[in-house]
Amino acid sequence: MNNIIQDNRHYYYRNTKSDLKKKYDPKTWSEDYDKKLKLRKEKVKEISDSNEKLFNELRKLKISKVYVEYDGYGDSGAIDGTTFYASEDSENYSEGEIMDICLPKDKCFHMADIGRGSDKDGDYITSSDVSLADAIEHLCYSKLDYTHPGWEINEGSRGTFTFDVNKEKISLQHFIKQISEEECNETF
């Protein structure tokens, strides 16, 4: 694990396998930050393009909303279920009715997303060809890991992703589980 150590007015980078490796000047930190911010904006643009394609594919299947529920605790977590709701132009379902469908399994969907990592730029971008079902699941896991890292640790958390196809928005309702303690004192 890497640490930054301050010694008087100098900053050093310590690596556990060796001694002090590199001297950091606090003035360069803002330059590094600007570079990372620019790279992050580029990554977000690529992700937006992936999201647009995802919504187009859902629209073709006459889906208006997708709900993805997850739950995690005790250092493990998983997506519990995905529910699809029909759009108004669906032939086999009424508007808003839960759809019983199988998503196409072919890997024709190109997915891009940001992950957390230890590369020189901090975050990294992942990109792969997956099925639509895998794209939805991958998107939820990566957004969850990015916005709420450790969501499955200890008491964990639970929540729901909502894909609003008409508005092309993904929202997350996230609940953090906590153990509370109440003190009761009695004298007998």
pLDDT of the residue at 89: 83
Taking 90 as the threshold, does the pLDDT of residue 179 lie above it? no
Q: In sequence order, which residues have a C-beta less than 8 Å from that of residue 173 and are 6 or more positions away?
A: 159, 160, 162
Structure tokens at 46: 């690529």
pLDDT of the residue at 52: 82
Which tens digit of pLDDT belongs to each residue from 129-170? 778 888 888 888 888 887 888 899 999 999 999 999 999 999
Q: pLDDT tier at 9 (50, 70, 90 boundaries)?
A: very low
Which tens digit of pLDDT belongs to each residue from 12-26? 444 444 444 445 556
Give CB contacts under 8 A, 24+ apart, made by 79-84: 79/137, 79/140, 79/141, 82/133, 82/136, 82/137
Taking 80 as the threshold, does the pLDDT of residue 185 lie above it? yes
pLDDT of the residue at 29: 61
Measured between alpha carbons, how far is residue 182 from residues 179, 185, 186 in Å? Answer: 10, 10, 13
Domain boundaries, the chain: 2-176
